[in-house]
Amino acid sequence: MTIDQFLLMKNEILLIAIAVIVLIIDLMTDNKKILFPVMIILFIFTTVIGFIYQTDGELFGGMYRSTPLINMMKNILNTGVLIILLQSAGWLINKAENHENIGGFCFILISSLAGMCFMISSGDFLMFYLGLELATIPIAALVAYEKMKFLSAEAGTKFILSAVLSSGILLYGISILYGTNGSILFKDLNNSVEITNLQALAFIFILSGIAFKISLVPFHLWTADVYEGAPVNITSFLSSISKAASVFILLILLFTVFINFSEIWNELLVYLSILTMTIGNLFAIRQQNLKRFLAFSSIAQAGFIPLGFIGGTSLGASTVLYFLLIYVFSNLGAFGVVSVVTSATGKESMNDYNGFYKTNRGLSIVMMLSLFSLAGIPPVAGFFSKFFLFTIAAKQGYYFLLFIAVINATISLYYYLLVVKAMFINENEQPIEKITSDVYAKLGLAICVLGIVFTGLFGIIFDYINTLSKGI
């Protein structure tokens, strides 16, 4: 192998290098605070490199592939994780009980991101499965990070058990596919899969395994408890980065390996989408805990994604990417505010946010923008991404699905505005005191706000993604 070939894997190699550097610094010094700025600088470097240097090609006999579109997916994930690392700085550095494990926290988060990158780049089911496991299993340790809290430990257990169950189902599907086609390479399968009972069953198993990770209804039951028990930053990681990575690989699988099955998955995804949107919304309305509320809202948001898959067009693929890019910004913006407030005061309930605007103007405006973007209110980016998804469904003639989606978008508007109302209008005699967040958190929130405001206004971003997705 030459150096050019190695550079195809630049993103993964850099990420693993950062993870190892973090580990070494962690071993060598007692002052864990040094570790954080070093890692952030390295990580920003990696993210920027990802945008500048494009790669295209295959390695290891087709086991690893890289295209400009896959690069873009990795860039979205990198940016998201950068925001999460910035947001978790306050929680990790300012709290004495979290000092001990800063190194472990960062190592696991970054290696899990590397796992996602391997998963998206995979050219066969072996690498896909390994990437998926690398992205999932170590995260269970972070979900149970606050192990002295009962909820956190419980969430860790639930997370690992449901992850193992879904992997089991997925593996069974893969093994059936191997048994019937004699290969696990995507490019071989692409030609040989055909609709028979057994292969359709294998496909459904694989789809359910991935739907577990995206937490589409009816595979969502683990989500609420895990999201509530995990530390806020891990919840935001699970609900945006993990979800986005799983959607990306689902996109690649559906559009390449299972393109012959499009009749089956079109229909399946319509049902999954309707169920997910409706049930996610119905539960989100009733939540009082803000973390749990955002968890259910993220389930409902995931329900909109299948709209872009319908028809299997490359325009649909770019719409899904665009939606996720904006979703990552808006979701992380909302979670970022919750994270700042929780680590400063420990308050998570929605009533605590009454009168939040009077004391914390900046934070409440960020929260408002994020929620507007999640709800899809016109000037901010969330409107455009949802609108494009609706257009894809309308073009394919799925009017009933579109109708349900629009109703659900309206319902979601109600509960997002409920939070905004609490912050701006509701009176409170003892509002949350003025919080001064650290530089890292400010930077993280600033990136989110920039993303929310500008990705929608500049059509060039969507056009750029659209040119990439031609070569899926």
Residue ranges that bind other proteins, judged by CB under 8 A = 1, 16, 23, 59-61, 63-64, 96-97, 99-101, 104-105, 107-108, 111-112, 114-115, 118, 126-127, 130-131, 133-134, 137-138, 140-142, 144-145, 147-148, 156, 179-180, 182, 196-201
> Least distance (Å) from other proteins to the CB of residue 290?
27
Q: Which is nearer to other proteins, 40 or 126 (CB)?
A: 126
**Cβ at position 152, least distance to other proteins in Å:** 10
Q: How far is the CB of 289 from other proteins (least distance, A)?
A: 25
Give helix 314-345 / helix 381-395 axis angle, nearest 10°. Answer: 150
Q: Which of 274, 283, 282 is nearest to 302 (CA)?
A: 274
- First-last CA distance in the chain: 25
> Dihedrals φ, ψ of 184, to 5°?
-120, 5
CA within 13 Å, CB half, 130 = 10
- Residue closer to other proteins, measured from CB, 3 or 96: 96
Q: Contacts from 20-26 at CB under 8 Å and sequence distance 24+?
A: 22/103, 22/106, 22/107, 22/110, 23/103, 23/107, 25/103, 26/102, 26/103, 26/104, 26/107
The string of DSSP codes covering 47-87 is HHHHHH----EEEGGGTEEE-HHHHHHHHHHHHHHHHHHHH
Half-sphere exposure of 92 (CA within 13 A, CB side): 25
Q: How far is the CB of 258 from other proteins (least distance, A)?
A: 17
For other proteins, the closer of residues 118 and 327 by Cβ is 118
**Residue 166 beta carbon to other proteins: minimum distance, rounded to whole angstroms:** 15
User: How many Cβ atoms are within 10 Å of 428's Cβ, its own excluded?
Assistant: 16
Nearest Cα residue to 387 out of 323, 468, 453, 329? 323
Neighbours of 52 (CB within 10 A): 6
Whose Cβ is closer to other proteins: residue 127's or residue 366's?
A: 127
Nearer to other proteins, 153 or 453 (CB): 153
The nearer residue to other proteins, 12 or 352, going by C-beta atoms, is 12
- Nearer Cβ to other proteins (104/311): 104
Minimum distance from CB of 25 to other proteins (Å)? 14
Going by the DSSP 8-state scheme, the letter that residue 34 receives in this structure is G
Distance of closest approach, residue 114 Cβ to other proteins, in angstroms: 7
- How far are the Cα atoms of 17, 19, 103, 343, 439 from residue 110, in angstroms, in the given order? 10, 6, 11, 22, 21
CA within 13 Å, CB half, 70 = 26
Which amino acid type is present at position 307? L
Of the pair 40, 153, the CB lying nearest other proteins is at 153
Task: Find the shortest distance in angstroms from Cβ 24 to other proteins.
Answer: 13
Total Cβ atoms within 10 A of residue 255:
18
Cα separation of 295 and 278, whole Å?
A: 14
Residues 6+ apart with CB under 8 A from 270: 306, 310, 398, 401
Nearer to other proteins, 58 or 438 (CB): 58
* Residue number, 133 or 154, with CB nearest to other proteins: 133
- For 106, the token pair is 């960062």
CB of 198 to other proteins, least distance (A): 4
Q: Smallest gap, in angstroms, from Cβ of residue 60 to other proteins?
A: 5
